[in-house]
Amino acid sequence: MRGTSLRALASLAASLGMKMRRWDFVAAYLQGDLEPGEVVYCHPPPGYATIGADGRPRICRVQKPVHGMAQAGRRWQRTLFPWLEEQGFQQSSTDTCTFSKTRDDDKLVLGCYVDDLFILYFTDADGSLYSEFSTALVDRWRVEDESEVSDLPNVDITVEGDDVVLRQSSYVQQLLSTHAPQGIPVSFQLNHAPAKPDLPALIEDAVST
């Protein structure tokens, strides 16, 4: 799901008063399937013998998409997305990682964020779209309900009154701790201003021409 889609879904939740929930797919890639006839080999994982009894190097045939395979994410999508469409969801034409389903006054909106589902819904009462979908989700996949959403990778999500607020403060602090543990160097601050001092003159020149 794109960042713009996340902001759009947060705005939708705020404007319609929808609840937000996060579900996690456990070892998501391993729940995907390789393409029919697709054959992939790899070196033995750490802890396994790399040389066979005949003295020749051993290789393993991959049965399921795993982290590290270039196509693993794509295989996961091609397993999950058709299932969502079988459940009656309509895929967005502007972001293929977002889906929606409507029945009478009930509505369900999904955003797929790698191995997470960001779900917008009105009610979880028996017979609601959310209730039916969550049951089908548990029956088909290995998933964990992580309750009301508070964050997605690198994004903190909070509800403040009628607003849904997205922040990246924690992510920024993590970057600073990793790349500038002693704080931002003064030389960096002086040499990398947000804009050049002559920006107003450049804008005026651009407008006039």
The pLDDT of residue 108: 97
Judge contact between 46 and 205, C-beta under 8 A: no
Q: Across the chain, what does the average pLDDT equal?
A: 90
Residue 191: what pLDDT?
59
Torsion of CA 122, 91, 132, 156, to 10 degrees: -50
User: Which of 38, 46, 42, 69 is CA-nearest to residue 58?
Assistant: 42
Alpha-carbon span 135 to 140, nearest angstrom = 9
Mean pLDDT of the 17-27 span:
96
What is the phi/psi pair of residue 164, to 5°? Answer: -110, 120
What span, in angstroms and rounded, lies between the C-alpha atoms of 175 and 167? 14
> What pTM was computed for the model?
0.79
Structure confidence at residue 193 (pLDDT) = 59
What's the CA gap between 92 and 1, in Å, rounded?
11
Asked whether the predicted pLDDT for residue 189 surpasses 70, the reply is no
Q: What is the largest CA-CA distance in the chain?
A: 79
